[in-house]
Each structure stands twice: as structure tokens, then as C-alpha cells.
Amino acid sequence: MKLGFLTACLPQVPLADIAAWAAENDYAALEVAVWPKVGGREFEAGHIDVAHFGAGQAEEVTELFAKHRLTLSSLAYYENNLHPDEGRREEIAAHVLHAVDAAALLGVETVGTFIGRHPGLSVKENVALAEQTFPRLVDYAGERGVKIIIENCVMEGWHPDGYPGNIAYSPELWEWMFSLGLYLNYDPSHLLWIGIDPVTALKPYVDRIPHAQAKDTQLDPLARDRYGFFGKTLSREHPWDEGWWRYRVPGLGQVDWSGVVDALYEGGFTGVLSVEHEDPVWGGTEEKVKQGLRIAHRTLSPLIVG
């Protein structure tokens, strides 16, 4: 197992500078954000332009990672593949395929994304839509030696009432998506606040987890007693303003990291555990983000066998 981080937390920093900093701070891998340059939402970045990527660019990236003795663990484009607008849905699918092509050129085994959700349809109707949408993506990736991995983020901010906006949030739904040839980019932080024990949920599925993420969650049960499980309603200031929990870097929330890492080892996981930094306390400036990554490293590195 290696420890890395997702580059989306440093959207304005060039990949070459991120790689140098990661190596200097004893990270062994990077999960590289590949959103289109026209993106711009928080926690999105375009550190590799996969839509205009060829052998020359692949050689440059490969040399960069070799120079710093880093592993490029995955390409990350977490978008709503079941977007209600069909045109936008096709744009997203096309970019996923660009990411697959880039991964194949780089020798990277996985591309990460979301199932997503059409908020106007039931979960069962979304399952049917996904069964029409994903087979061509999975087949295209498989032909190029790439796995599509799905993060189990709830994406409640994509739903107008804070309900799940990504239908991959529970083991029941993981088993369904495995039947489509998809894999899991396991992140324990999302399970904690929806009432699922992250370690118990992880153990049966390690063989379907080629890549994992590390994010923590800090809970406030007293606030939950006011707002309820789905968070604020009338007083919600923005789609991600749940009011009773928030993401933190590993070590500053309630995730049992010793249990998570031990379960990964016990299940035979040999991939990368990638810190996904969305901590509002250690965010806002480049230096604060980097300090958050240092905190995460101090928490996780003692658990990982060199």
C-alpha cells in the first residue's frame, strides 16, 4: 500500500510543483484531477488536459513522476454521468472516455468518476438509466486495460433536498454496480454520516477496490437532533450546508483509520490510499491546504507498512 493525495485540493498549482512538494513531504503517489479547464467548481481541477493528450504529453508526465519517484495512482473526473440534461450527459461521457485514453497512454490502471443521479427519477429508475449509460464506458475502458472506479460519495448537494445525488452510497448499490463491471474507489468518510460502519462495510469488498481515498468526517449529534439526518432545510445557505457534519482531513474526525487500513491489508489491498482534502478548516489558501495534507500524512503514514 502507498499513501498519496488527490491533486484537486490545489487547483491553481501546476502539476510539476505539486509533484515536487509531494515528494519532499514523503507522499508516494498522486491521484491526478482531470476536469476540463472550463470547470471551476470547488474541489475540481485540470492538472492534465486529457481532451488534448497524446504520446508527447504522456512522456512528459511519465518523466515528471519518475523524476520524483511518484506513482500516478488514478485519473480523477468525478461528475454526474446520469445528468438530467442529455446533452450534458453526453459531454460528461465523452470526457470520461478522454480520461480513459490518457490513462491507457500513461499506463494508469483506473479512472475515477461517479454514477451520479437524475434527481427527477427514483433510484430504481436511475439504476435503469445507468444500465443504459455505463456498458459502453466500461467496455471502452476494458479494451484499453483500464478500470472505471466509482467513489461512494453521497453527493447530497446535487439533489435539491439534500438526498443522495450519486447512487453508489451503500453496499447494496455497490453490488449492483459491480454487476456492470465497475469498481469501487472506497472512501470511508461518506459512510460515517449516513449511519454505515466504514470498516464493516469495507471488509467483504476489498477485492473490488483497486484504489481507495482517505477523508475524515466530524459529526455533531446535537445539531443532527435539530436538523435531522438530511441536514438543514429552511436555513441551508448552499447545497453543501448540511449543518451537523463536515469533512476533515484524516485524524480530525471520527473515522477509525486503524480499522480501515487494517481491513484493507487483511483483504489483500496493494493499491494507493489517496487523501482527498476537503477540510474547511485547513482550506482557503495554498499553505493551509498543504498543512492539512501534512496532518493527514502524520495520521496515516504510521499505519502503512513501508
The tens digit of pLDDT for each residue in 180-205 reads 999 999 999 999 999 999 999 999 99
Q: Which residues contact 141 (CB under 8 A, 6 or more apart)?
A: 100, 111, 147, 148
Please report the pLDDT score of residue 305 as a whole number: 87
User: Is the separation of the CB atoms in 277 and 30 below 8 Å?
Assistant: no
Average pLDDT for residues 12-22, to the nearest whole number? Answer: 97
- CA dist., res. 64 & res. 69, Å (int): 9
How far from 46 is each of 32, 130, 206, 264, CA to CA, in Å? 8, 26, 29, 29
Residue 136 has pLDDT above 60, yes or no: yes
Relative orientation angle of helices 286-300 and 257-266, to the nearest 10 degrees = 60
Please report the pLDDT score of residue 306 as a whole number: 67
How far from 206 is each of 186, 190, 246, 266, 284, CA to CA, in Å? 9, 17, 26, 9, 34
Interval 83-112: pLDDT, tens: 999 999 999 999 999 999 999 999 999 999
Relative orientation angle of helices 55-67 and 86-106, to the nearest 10 degrees = 60
Residue 42 has pLDDT above 80, yes or no: no
Interval 246-280: pLDDT, tens: 999 999 999 999 999 999 999 999 999 999 999 99
Side chain identity at residue 50, one-letter code: V
C-alpha cell of residue 22: 509531494
Q: Which domains does the chain have, with CATH numbers?
A: 2-303 (3.20.20.150)
| Prediction pTM value | 0.96
Query: Which DSSP category does 253 fall into?
Result: S
- CA dist., res. 53 & res. 69, Å (int): 22
SS3 29: strand
If pLDDT is split at 50, 70 and 90, which confidence band does 40 have?
A: low
Please report the pLDDT score of residue 261 as a whole number: 98
Please report the pLDDT score of residue 259 as a whole number: 98
Alpha helices (H) in the chain, listed in sequence order = 15-24, 55-67, 86-106, 123-143, 171-178, 188-193, 198-202, 221-227, 257-266, 286-300
SS3 77: strand
Q: Which residues contact 67 (CB under 8 A, 6 or more apart)?
A: 19
User: Is the separation of the CB atoms in 30 and 19 below 8 Å?
Assistant: yes
Average pLDDT for residues 24-31, to the nearest whole number? Answer: 98
If pLDDT is split at 50, 70 and 90, which confidence band does 160 have?
A: confident
C-alpha cell of residue 166: 450519486
- CA dist., res. 135 & res. 106, Å (int): 23
Whole-number average pLDDT of the chain:
96
Please report the pLDDT score of residue 38 as a whole number: 61
